[in-house]
Structure 1
């Protein structure tokens, strides 16, 4: 029995690892399936038993046509993504337009009546970024970084430094999907304003390349600082804990107001001049009613090395944000990236299993830039990360509890 359990765990890790590396887990699954003398009928029955009816119907269309389980295509706990009522966004009370918006408005921009954000012309943003100079800022250019949905440039508007994100199809998505993400980010940022959420100043939509304009974050991302990009000094343990706590505050605000971010990662936690963390990149964020139901989507989005098991199956739930934040906590402790194909284990989340199996200890993975005198609080953060990374979503703590535990850690460090 234990042998079978071990085999299955290794198989699942292999399948998930294929996804993280951008490879097809299907090939790995079929190879494994072919070694067990199973048939297509066996696979279909297994899919039906676990209510993956769409997959079963794809393999054998007649297998679910008259099934008693057909009603479960849309269960009472599942809402099709196109039926979500989006009116339950973050409350608008006390959400005045930040003074920084008016400060950043130039003679070529105007205030959008629906959102209150500045509406810039593409020509103005093009000029402010030196024609979207693709050379890195460190090399005298304007490029700050890039992600799956766009490139971020450093610009100047009305004598103020800003970050301009030019949306570009760097991944396999349509132009329409990219525009949908543009609209979603503006909608979310218009409704949700908080000290630990990045501040959107305005946007440009008068050109094929849509742009979003944010307050510039001079200390880059948490990922940049953990990897000491451009030879910056390593973050102290106390500073890391405060960044973790501030990030939890931001996520808690989203969850309290019925939003799930869906792409929490260290690259999306930006740091201002005082290292105050700001959650960014809301193109994938969703308002999900009271978030008591599981929402399904056909398109799997996010960054796979941070994605919870249910997110890889297409579920949208706030519990997936908790899992992703657990990966971030491991990054904070270890200074290691979430995925490194040259490392063993390649996935950072796998160190949790190694430690739980007593193959290694957390001390084996602690960032060498952190002093050993912090072992007590490091252990507490690792235990918190482990709870966040539970395979079963309902076993993970709510973000409010995560926030409370981080507050206790910060309190210990401040004594």
Structure 2
């Protein structure tokens, strides 16, 4: 039992560890079905139909827990632990109920009258979509032994990072308004708070106890209704609660009150790689050594994600942020998926997501695989080499990923040396050739011909070591 749990705790705030313990009670003999048929909407109608039940049954063949997935889905509403315990006890599932709230009688949790009132008052204004209408965010994986490395003991070929539940702060929306100057839409350079556009929302700068933070206010769009946005909101929280690494952005907390979804992160003083390569707001060009270190850091972050069986699905230079020391941090995890069975297998989805200029051929077909992240990272490497944006309507070819065909074509005049960023100093053609060859390998049309992120990281490290040795001479 989590001592912080009360009958008023939202189901979505039940830890993954406790969800797995509940699944030990409810998965055998399909006991979870007794729970799902008891879950009701505000009007008293069943929340889930037999069609939904069959969909949950299908998860078993994928090695996934129907109980965990049910709690993930039900948790997108404002349903509480008290409501869940009432259902468990009404179905004589006392051991499971006691796991959540030991020694609590049904009357102590919620009376029928209280349940009716609380259900009407706290029902989310962000409704839960039916299961067949959207993807369920998968549960985070248990920490694999081989990847659960200790940050305080740096070793050769190991990555600092760990998995495990982290405590995040739940902010009042009014507090976030206060620290961002009421979400002042003027840019920070003009005295406002607006830092720019992030994934599915606008990012503002604020201060918590004199510490700068970035507040992302999520906004529904024509192609992103509020309920879908809510799923991605909780997916990002879920991912960054479970996974922690030097090269992943640090989440401070979140806010869900007043029907507003906000995420709070540590402030990244140097913005995104996309903006720094463009020398936005007069920032100086990145040197070759800085770019190599940024590439290495981003590769480390992605390798850590893949090592922990997560696929980012939207790798791009705009989602690689830089702190005050130009340390690369992967951000925007709203589209992230955990691999089925905690393996690096391919999954399928009917909803194709991502950014077109970075998308692998299989991603356009709805395949979800770590090799798609590798492909997208190949585009990022080309950006680092050239300083060019990933897409430009006035450029031929429009997509940067296609420029490699001109470089590799002996009948074309474009060479790698011509392709390199003219603003960059300190680069050597031999090192640049290594990174370019790696990028081309990452961009192979056939995913099985691409390297895995561990190989990508190893090759970049080799270049970084060579560059460091030469700079010391």
| TM-score interval, smaller chain | 0.7 to 0.9
Secondary structure at the aligned position of 1:145 is classed as: strand
CA distance in 2, matches of 1:303, 1:78: 30
In the alignment, which residue of structure 1 is the partner of 2:408?
Answer: 356
- Deviations 1:207-253 (CA, angstroms, capped at 9, x unpaired): 22210000000100111100000011000000000000010000000
Matched, 1:296 2:348: yes
Deviation at 1:139, TM superposition (A): 1.2
In the alignment, which residue of structure 2 is the partner of 1:330?
Answer: 382
Deviation at 1:94, TM superposition (A): 7.7
Say if 1:372 and 1:189 are closer, same or farther in 2 by CA, change over 3 A.
closer
Contact 1:334-1:365 at 8 Å conserved across structures: yes
Say if 1:84 and 1:263 are closer, same or farther in 2 by CA, change over 3 A.
closer
CA distance in 1, matches of 2:461, 2:343: 25
CA distance in 1, matches of 2:287, 2:347: 39
Q: Which runs of 5+ in 1 are unaligned?
A: 1-73, 97-113
CA distance in 1, matches of 2:222, 2:296: 32
Q: CA RMSD in A?
A: 2.4
Say if 1:171 and 1:83 are closer, same or farther in 2 by CA, change over 3 A.
closer
Select the residue among 389, 394, 408 that pairs with 2:462: 408
Deviation at 1:405, TM superposition (A): 0.3
Matched, 1:392 2:443: no
Matched, 1:138 2:214: no
State how 1:357-372 maps to structure 2 within 5 Å: 357-358=409-410, 359=412, 360-371=414-425
Select the residue among 162, 172, 181 that pairs with 2:213: 162
CA distance in 2, matches of 1:376, 1:200: 39
Select the residue among 299, 302, 306 that pairs with 2:358: 306
Contact 2:137-2:337 at 8 Å conserved across structures: no
Contact 1:148-1:169 at 8 Å conserved across structures: no
In the alignment, which residue of structure 2 is the partner of 1:88?
Answer: 141
CA distance in 2, matches of 1:294, 1:389: 18
Matched, 1:147 2:198: yes
Select the residue among 332, 338, 341 that pairs with 1:281: 332
Secondary structure at the aligned position of 2:213 is classed as: strand
Select the residue among 352, 367, 373 that pairs with 1:315: 367
TM-score normalised by L of structure 1: 0.74
Deviation at 1:87, TM superposition (A): 4.7
Say if 1:87 and 1:337 are closer, same or farther in 2 by CA, change over 3 A.
closer
Matched, 1:229 2:280: yes
CA distance in 2, matches of 1:176, 1:373: 48
Secondary structure at the aligned position of 1:349 is classed as: helix
Secondary structure at the aligned position of 2:232 is classed as: helix
In the alignment, which residue of structure 2 is the partner of 1:252?
Answer: 303
CA distance in 2, matches of 1:213, 1:317: 28
CA distance in 2, matches of 1:364, 1:263: 29
Contact 1:161-1:215 at 8 Å conserved across structures: yes
Bigger shift: 130-139 or 380-389? Answer: 130-139
- Deviations 1:43-79 (CA, angstroms, capped at 9, x unpaired): xxxxxxxxxxxxxxxxxxxxxxxxxxxxxxx9x9999
TM-score normalised by L of structure 2: 0.65
CA distance in 2, matches of 1:317, 1:95: 27
- Deviations 1:286-317 (CA, angstroms, capped at 9, x unpaired): 11133332111111111111111111111110
Structure number with the bigger relative contact order (C-alpha 8 A, sep ≥ 6) is 1
In the alignment, which residue of structure 2 is the partner of 1:22?
Answer: none
Secondary structure at the aligned position of 2:428 is classed as: helix
Q: Which runs of 5+ in 2 are unaligned?
A: 1-58, 65-131, 152-164
In the alignment, which residue of structure 1 is the partner of 2:232?
Answer: 181
Count of equivalent residues = 324
CA distance in 1, matches of 2:222, 2:455: 35
Secondary structure at the aligned position of 1:185 is classed as: helix
